[in-house]
Amino acid sequence: MLIAANKAVSIDYTLTNDAGEVIDSSAGGAPLVYLHGAGNIIVGLEKALLGKQAGDELKVAVEPEDAYGEYSAELVATLNRSMFEGVDELEVGMQFHASGPDGSMQIVTIRELDGDDVIVDGNHPLAGQRLNFQVKVVAVRDASEEELAHGHIHGEGGHHH
């Protein structure tokens, strides 16, 4: 069975940056299971997997525009510490939900603390980076009606309700 829209796909993968550092991997764990065509994985990897089948192995370099986008300086802001009411100890690397410029919710990460100034970054941590995947297709099957209705895969390696 070939990978196409509405197929449940299981992959083993290792993700590295251009320096060869491992960012993420399924090694030692269950394969990643996703619903092809539902936006569950980055578009560049999904495009590369289209038409592949169980047993296929591939290397894929995904440019930022097909991954997490280019880095945007507009998503970096300096906020006053008072904006974090109820948080006793702020630390670099902490993440918070915030309203984005268009009113949608986004995750911001504290990048720097300078007195009462808190510099936050709304970019995805991998924005602006080429992502290199080593992928092996483990299995391909038809997604169930429930999985199609929910837009993601259930069970082992997938989403749990």
Kind of pairing between the strands at 22-25 and 32-35: unpaired
**pLDDT > 70? residue 109:** yes
Structure confidence at residue 103 (pLDDT): 79
Nearest C-alpha neighbor of 133 from the set 28, 69, 57, 68: 57
Structure confidence at residue 161 (pLDDT): 43
List, for residues 30-84, the tens digit of each pLDDT value. Answer: 999 999 999 999 999 999 999 999 999 999 999 999 999 999 999 999 999 999 9
Alpha carbon distance, N-terminus to C-terminus of the chain: 28
pTM of the predicted model, to two decimals?
0.82
**pLDDT > 80? residue 158:** no
Nearest C-alpha neighbor of 35 from the set 10, 71, 60: 10
3-class DSSP assignment, residue 108? strand
CA 140 – CA 34 distance, rounded (Å): 10
3-class DSSP assignment, residue 83? helix
